[in-house]
Amino acid sequence: MQVFSGFPISQGLAAGKIVFLGAQKAAVRQAVSPQEEQLRFESAQRQAVDALGALYEKARAELGEKDAEIFSVHQLMAADEDFTDLVSEAIADGAEASEAVRQAGEQCAAIFSAMDDDYMRERAADVRDVAARICRILNGEAEQTITEPCLIAAEELTPSQTVQFPREFVRGMLTARGAANSHMGILARTLGVPAVSQLPVSAELHGRTAVLDGFSGTLTLDPDEQTLAEAAAKIAAQQAQREALRQLISAPSVTQDGHSVRLYANIAGTDDLPLLRESGAEGVGLLRSEFLYLGRSTYPTEDELFESYKTVVQAMDGREIIIRTLDIGADKQVGYFDMPPEDNPALGLRAIRLCLTRPILFQTQLCAILRASRYGNVGIMFPMVTGPDELHRLKQALADAEDVLIARGERFGPYRVGVMIETPAAVFMSGELAGEVDFFSIGTNDLTQYLLAMDRQNPNLAPFCDPHHPAVLRAIRQTVERAHQAGCTVGICGELAADEALTEAFLRLGVDELSVAPSRILPLREKIRSLTLG
């Protein structure tokens, strides 16, 4: 038995046989003639474009427009003029068609790999995926399929592989490469299966039994009977606990002695609606609107944003939904934003700082949110605010968006305005800010890293980046007290909100709302209902 540590991408626990998906190797064959090889390539290219179109439609139906967008991008890559020219040049020099495609794919991938932007570097895998697809068609190879429950292993899982996996068979994913913002990570979390990267993955894993822990980021290879039995028992217990907690879906979040708190969900968009319906959420405390900008090659239009917001707002059926304005930058980079490299992105041009420097981008989103406010109970939340001066500029931008809609003859509904408290400056200015907004949401993830001056993305700092640090808890207390003095409600959003060790303390502080991942709502409700504050 061996245990390997990697990087957790998607949470969960799974056990089973490993199926290794190796890189496709071109069949050994000689070029017939440049003319015939060119015709073979053009035929395979057309088939690949058609297949990617079918994948787009399949992904859109099963996963939603956001996750399907990548296959539209792959279609463009497959038919790209520069890529096609590279293939044709190699064929004219005597290369066999699939070898020419492989060479061209590696040339294009190398260009992406050399880029500074994290998002653009991830696109190297997309180019290789497209080239491999054309090669498989040229070599008459069938697409790899999965026919029984398993753990999928690969050096790097590509989007088209991931979306084709039958959900009922895929238990987990393990890779040698892949970041949290890779398509593998995004789709794994959407599909609800554990995923771990940075593992020593090779063909030697194929057929071997393993336990994959997406919480700790570990892979236990060839587990003994006791380890396997313990994992199976944990998986069964987790499933049984989930089923037992379902009786609390409609129950109030009230302590034994009558103290109540609202339990809201953090979601990324329409893809999370099925999870939301089963979660027992009383509202949405954070709609991460930046996910509508990720995984695509162009800015979303106002109508695209509006339709997405409207769908989620209507699904809430009158329950509150708080939409956070765009928080791009720091750990969330988008290639087509064309943002200059920064030495310290966490302290750079992100969130409202970016929006205020790109007024058209900001106005497009604000107009879309305002239009959606007609269909339900909407709150608009600004991230990374540091003081009243910034807030005044943001509220003016909101008023300008209202004027745009009025001039167009479009209606919008009533809405609340709030800010995220996630910088030390916002904590110190919370009294002044509270008098200008309807609600606060304390973003504990960023607040912790900024208070402690530690990069929360750096795994080496994990032992030191303590969200229970007295400074963090003192900042939360001060913010709650000042907000309530001004009649402003306060929610806690982030990992700390789901920390049951602090639930009682938060309720004693008078926190009005806890906003957590949908899967954490029912366990948290159970904890609240067991408490007596006295």
Q: Which are the catalytic amino acids?
A: 183, 493
Residue 49 falls in which region: left (phi positive, over 0), alpha (psi -120 to 50) or beta: alpha
Rounded-to-integer distance, Cα 159 and Cα 156, Å: 10
- Rounded Cα distance, 419 and 394, in Å: 10
Instruction: Round to whole Å and give the CA distance between 354 and 244.
Output: 45
Nearest Cα residue to 332 out of 507, 226, 219, 182: 182
Q: What separation in angstroms does the CA of 230 have from each of 114, 149, 217, 234, 447?
A: 44, 19, 17, 6, 37
Q: Which amino acid is at 505?
A: A
Element (H, E) at 274: helix 273-277
Q: What's the Cα-to-Cα distance from 50 to each of 131, 166, 406, rounded to whole Å?
A: 14, 21, 43
In what helix (H) or strand (E) does residue 108 lie, and over which residues does it extend? helix 97-113
Distance CA 350, CA 443 (A): 15
List the structure tokens of 420: 């995220």
CA dihedral of residues 314, 315, 321, 323 (deg, nearest 10): -80
* Strand pairing category for 170-175 and 150-154: parallel
The burial of 166, by beta-carbon neighbours within 10 Å (0-12 exposed, 13-18 middle, 19 or more buried), is given as: exposed
Alpha-carbon distance 107 to 114, whole Å?
A: 11
